[in-house]
Amino acid sequence: AQTVTQSQPEMSVQEAETVTLSCTYDTSESDYYLFWYKQPPSRQMILVIRQEAYKQQNATENRFSVNFQKAAKSFSLKISDSQLGDAAMYFCAFLGATNKLIFGTGTLLAVQP
Amino acid sequence: GAVVSQHPSWVICKSGTSVKIECRSLDFQATTMFWYRQFPKQSLMLMATSNEGSKATYEQGVEKDKFLINHASLTLSTLTVTSAHPEDSSFYICSAAILREIDEQYFGPGTRLTVT
């Protein structure tokens, strides 16, 4: 069975600085998707970034980028120029052949002004 | 992007009563809808997957007779919590997707259920 592990329950970053959130996963599949979702206090799930496993190039969305290491089964999220609005719970998620999203336990990110 | 709504956003009910939560895809037809449960400060746990016109598939440990899911149309799925008890109090989130684009799941804003 697939598992997703986020080893950082909480992280803190200064405004305008860069922070990296870690995620590892375990799967025997070769074709899958990986996601980072943001859940602010409103609890609305917001897709931050996605990565197709067959693509070697790391995905980037404005200030958000990932470091996808397929062999190491690692998928970290880098947030550059952190803003107060980035404060939220961040979930890493895996989508494979079952078509079911498997979420990690989440990392609560605080942004200090 | 695609929009998914949930109604109600917050509901309080008495123990022993049933409550229905609606999930609607507003601007697309969702062949598949997912229901999640989230306890405070925890992750999302998938409860069940529903495909339009067929019975829902429940995850292990989820009581199908307690959490009734109906996906009667391509834009509406409902979750009914029957004979609710305080331990059913939680945040329920739905997501919707088109099967051939299952990697694009659109989440509703969630429903907070409190059972007194």
pLDDT at A15: 98
Chain A to chain B, count of Cβ pairs less than 8 Å apart? 42
pLDDT cut 70: percent of chain B above it: 97
- What distance in Å separates the CA atoms of residue A102 and residue A91, rounded to the nearest whole number? 10
Span A48-77, mean pLDDT? 96
To the nearest whole angstrom, how far is the Cα of A91 from the nearest Cα of chain B?
Answer: 8
Contact B62/B82 with Cβ under 8 angstroms? no
Give pLDDT tens digits for B70-100: 988 999 999 999 999 999 999 999 999 986 6
- Residues in B whose CB is inside 8 Å of some CB of A read 32, 34, 38, 42-46, 49, 91, 93, 95, 99, 102-103, 105, 107, 109-110
Span B49-75, mean pLDDT? 92
Q: In 3-state terms, chain A is what percent helix, strand and coil (to 5)? A: 5, 50, 45
pLDDT at B52: 84
The yes-or-no verdict on residue B102 having pLDDT over 80 is no
pLDDT at B2: 87
Judge: B44–A103 Cβ closer than 8 Å, yes or no.
yes
pLDDT at A32: 95
* DSSP 8-state secondary structure symbol assigned to residue B87: G
pLDDT at B104: 83
Task: Give the residue from chain B lying closest to A108, CA to CA.
Answer: B41
Chain A partners within 8 Å of B95 (Cβ): 45, 101
Torsion of the alpha carbons at B70, B113, A86 and A63, rounded to the nearest 10: 0
Task: Give the residue from chain A lying closest to B47, CA to CA.
Answer: A100
Report how far apart the first and last C-alpha atoms of chain A are (Å, whole number). 41
Q: What is the mean pLDDT of chain B?
A: 93
Give pLDDT tens digits for A3-56: 999 999 999 999 999 999 999 999 999 999 999 999 999 999 999 999 999 998
Question: What does each C-alpha distance from A110 to A83, A86, A93, A101, B58 come to in angstroms?
Answer: 10, 8, 20, 25, 35
Structure tokens at B47: 């409860």
Judge: A91–B42 Cβ closer than 8 Å, yes or no.
no
pLDDT at A87: 98
| Amino acid identity, position B115 | V
Task: Give the residue from chain A lying closest to B32, CA to CA.
Answer: A99
Sign of CA pseudo-dihedral A53, A2, A90, B60: positive
pLDDT at B20: 97
pLDDT at B5: 97
Nearest by CB to residue B102, choosing from A42, A46, A99, is: A99
pLDDT at A88: 98
pLDDT at B53: 82
In sequence order, what E strands does B1-115 have? 4-7, 10-13, 19-25, 32-38, 44-51, 57-58, 67-73, 76-81, 90-97, 106-107, 111-115
Task: Give the residue from chain A lying closest to B91, CA to CA.
Answer: A43
pLDDT at B3: 93
pLDDT at A7: 97
